[in-house]
A and B are shown apart, each in its own frame.
Chain A
Amino acid sequence: MLTKRIIPCLDVKDGRTVKGTNFLNLRDAGDPVELGARYSEEGADELVFLDISATLERRSTFLHMVERVAESIRIPFTVGGGLRTVDDIVKALDAGADKVSLNSAALARPAFINEASQRVGSQSVVLAIDVKRIETRWTVWTKAGTEPTGRDALEWAQEGVNRGAGELLVTSMDRDGTTRGYDNELLSAIADLVNVPVIASGGAGSMEHVRDAILIGRADAVLAASIFHYGTIRIPQLKQYLRSYSIPVRL
């Protein structure tokens, strides 16, 4: 049976992991490659590396990191952050990434999703959607959640899939960083709409939250950062827990 995926997310700035971690015995806690390898050994199903570097110059540092990840980690990984052109995408995949995550550039020019999926295949194109609830609507925000687009999240999810996105990474900005749990209402509304995998993001604080994102939000995969980085939850423990609720996981 196809298992639900657990995906740690690493924010990388100028080639270094931004958030601290509780992992012991790391030679260098700031090295995203070492941290990624540690998660992989613990049983992570995939990894996401988000480049939050500010300058173009630093992006070559990120690409170099992607090459190092590909050399040392034998599970699939996605890279995102600052990908603006098909050429950027090809470079990231050539460096060894399996998928790219598109966000602001796709909102600025939706045909970018078509061009990307035609060039590298839908299976390698993840559309990341940052969502904020405003009254009764779910709205899409851009530029790392700093600017509203006025777009409706459900419509954008559907459009993204129609244009060729092979997977959706749905982040609830309302929940992100709160540890109050994922926005399961949002997740299940999107799961009802599209027939590609949905990755839940934003709000994880406990194992129950992960369980609920899968059972109530019907997410295919669950992404989290701080609960893993700070050691609140260890991946093997989380997977045992999910299995006790008959959720298929790779153990």
Chain B
Amino acid sequence: MIIGIVDYEAGNIRSVVNALKTLRVSYLVSNKQEELSIASKIILPGVGEARSAMESLHSIHLVEWLKTLDVPFLGICLGMQILFERSTERDISCLGIIEGTIEHFAKVNAALKVPHMGWNDVMFSTNSPLFEGIRQGEFFYFVHSYYAPLTSCTIGETDYGIRFSAAVQKNNYYGVQFHPEKSGNTGLQILKNFVERC
């Protein structure tokens, strides 16, 4: 099994790579569809900004491919947000796998400190294989200024002035708003679950 990590200059790829190394999982890092197509699962990391990320994915011709994947996919942080239809972060059309629009926290409550940065708890709403062996209300590390709303695809939620999607799933597409690669052993467990169970 090889995990393909999409390198689109919007991700903290090194942290994800280091986490996979710890798990002794084979991986490849690429921005080319023909190389990534060899992978049995795909991870889309992300730190940065939605419009640049989408523009970058368009420029390396991965948008259509990402929309029609039949292997398990895990989007992290921004990589989860762009599964949705739109982001209000410099108003951009995203992959549209999941219905809904990504909004800014300040729109909810101007007094909230933004970014939402630090460890917050996640309540799981389903028995997703992604959360196998992880207790309800476990803490994960978040850093983000925009959030995904709760939808029928929400499988984990977190409260920061508003309840938002901390994890989503639709068919073979999984996404987490937090950074499993920065969330200690529990975060590693999420990645391990994705590799072994999803």
Asked whether A75 and B116 contact (CB < 8 A) given A40-B184, A70-B18, the answer is no
Alpha-carbon distance A93/B15, docked complex (angstroms):
10
Interface residues of B in 78-131 (CB under 8 A from A): 111-121
Which of A5, A96, A123: most chain B Cβ within 10 A?
A123
Interface centre among B15, B49, B119 (most CB of A within 10 A): B119
The 8 A-B pairs of least Cβ separation, nearest first, read A250-B139, A250-B119, A2-B120, A123-B143, A3-B119, A123-B115, A96-B14, A76-B182
A96: chain B residues at CB < 8 Å are 14-15, 18
A171 CB-CB contact with B under 8 Å: no
- A residues in contact (CB < 8 Å) with B: 1-5, 40, 45, 70-71, 74-76, 93-96, 98, 121-124, 166-167, 195-197, 220-221, 250
Q: Which of B21, B139, B183 has the most CB of A within 10 A?
A: B139
B184 touches which one: A1, A74, A221 (CB < 8 A)? Answer: A74
B179-194 contact mask (Cβ, 8 Å, vs A): 1 or 0: 1011111011000000
Which residues of B come within 8 Å of A, CB atoms?
12, 14-15, 18-19, 21-22, 47-49, 111-121, 139, 141, 143-145, 159-160, 179, 181-185, 187-188
Name 14 interchain pairs, CB-CB below 8 A, sorted by A: A1-B120, A2-B120, A2-B160, A74-B19, A74-B184, A74-B187, A74-B188, A75-B184, A76-B179, A95-B14, A98-B182, A121-B47, A123-B117, A196-B114
Q: How far is the CB of B53 from chain A (nearest CB, A)?
A: 12
CB distance B48 to A121 under 8 Å? yes
A87 to B139, CA, bound (A): 33
- Residues of chain A within 8 A of B179, CB atoms compared: 76
Q: With A74-B19, A74-B182, A94-B14 known to touch, is A196 a contact of B113 (CB < 8 Å)?
A: yes
List of B residues within 8 angstroms of A98 by Cβ = 12, 15, 143, 182
Task: Report yes or no: B183 in contact with A74, Cβ–Cβ below 8 A.
Answer: yes
Further pairs besides A74-B22, A75-B183: 14, Cβ < 8 Å: A3-B119, A4-B118, A40-B184, A70-B14, A70-B18, A75-B141, A76-B179, A76-B182, A98-B182, A123-B117, A124-B47, A166-B117, A167-B117, A220-B113
Residues of A within 8 A of B144 (CB): 123
A3 to B159, CA, bound (A): 11
